[in-house]
Amino acid sequence: MLFSGGDPCHSVEVSNRRNAQKGFIRSEFDMKNKEIAKKAAQFAAPFRITNGRKFHLKTIDPQETLDFKGDDKTRAKEALATGIAALADLQDMLYAQDRWAVLLIFQAMDAAGKDGAIKHVMSGLNPQGCQVFSFKSPSAEELDHDYLWRCMKCLPERGRIGIFNRSYYEETLVVRVHSEYLEKQKLPQKLIDKGIWKRRFRDIRGFERYLTHNGIAICKFFLHVSKKEQKRRFLERLEKPEKNWKFSSADLEEREYWDEYQSAYADMIRNTATPYAPWHVVPADNKWFTRLVVAAAVIDTLSSLSLAYPVLGKEQLRELAAARRALQ
């Protein structure tokens, strides 16, 4: 203060006014985001499954859009933009607090819109605090380990958001539909029996409980697309040159197992939906609505963590004051 110039009492008064103004802005900011978080929780609630015992996939209509109509896309985009801004604020606090990590898991049939949902909903996040991993067919090295190994290596650090585009759940989906994949895993023959899927579900529930006990919040998404809409999107990929690269003949082959996959997904959700790692079964026939639900669920998850910027101690505040004086 002695070297700042002007009346010291005036400087204190100005400083107090500035702090009061900052406090008002922060309070206004918190109130706005709390209101967004409240609405997000309400919006995501119809699609959140925390107890799958009585779950039936047919209860979720892939074309569902709640109170949004086909001509409400503009309103939906505005709501998504608001949500993305709120996500950016929450991610900033997550990173600064450095206590929690968040794991987002995406599962779906081909062409359901996983990549687009990740791209659009996460568009406002700081790349330094966000990691995306896509899990394809396991390598020879990965097959020499347990099925959770490759995913465990990619878990997010504290303060970061990790995104799994497909995940260890493939071990209860594609491996279940195609028994030949299970045979490649080199498991002792006596472990390959009718009880293997129940054991895997039990192991996954235990694994996810372990993660939550260690500060990793889990939010899972199944993007529920209809067979009719999948066909339309496949044809679009074939007809539009800029989308040809997205098409794979393997997608058509997997489509032949539609009923088997639907059954496997339903069983997966029934057995692994828990309060600590809920599934969100998101209607996926309308991409704009899918992205809105995903954003709402992520906001709800982050908001539940009581995130806040770190409060500095007296010694740290003295260091800041000294640095401020040195710069004046």
Beta-carbon contacts of 188 under 8 Å, excluding residues fewer than 6 positions away, are none
Cα diameter, the chain: 85
pTM of the predicted protein model: 0.88
d(CA 312, CA 317): 6
User: Can you give the residue ranges of every domain in the chain?
Assistant: 8-327
Beta-carbon contacts of 14 under 8 Å, excluding residues fewer than 6 positions away, are none
- What topology is assigned to 8-327 in CATH? Rossmann fold (3.40.50)
**Given this model, what pLDDT does residue 28 score?**
52
**Given this model, what pLDDT does residue 29 score?**
53
**Given this model, what pLDDT does residue 318 score?**
92
d(CA 130, CA 165): 13
Interior angle at CA 54, CA 53 and CA 58, nearest 5 = 125
Host H or E run for residue 271: helix 258-272
257-to-55, 260, 271 alpha-carbon distances in Å: 21, 5, 21
**Given this model, what pLDDT does residue 220 score?**
98
* Tens-binned pLDDT, residue by residue, of the chain (328 aa): 333 334 434 433 434 444 444 444 455 557 677 889 999 999 999 999 999 998 999 999 999 999 887 677 888 889 999 999 999 999 999 999 999 999 999 999 999 999 999 999 999 999 999 999 999 999 999 999 999 999 999 999 999 999 999 999 999 999 999 999 999 999 999 999 999 999 999 999 999 999 999 999 999 999 999 999 999 999 999 999 999 998 888 889 999 999 999 999 999 999 999 999 999 999 999 999 999 999 999 999 999 999 999 888 899 899 999 999 999 8
Beta-carbon contacts of 88 under 8 Å, excluding residues fewer than 6 positions away, are 124, 125, 126
**C-beta of residue 80 within 8 angstroms of C-beta of residue 286:** no
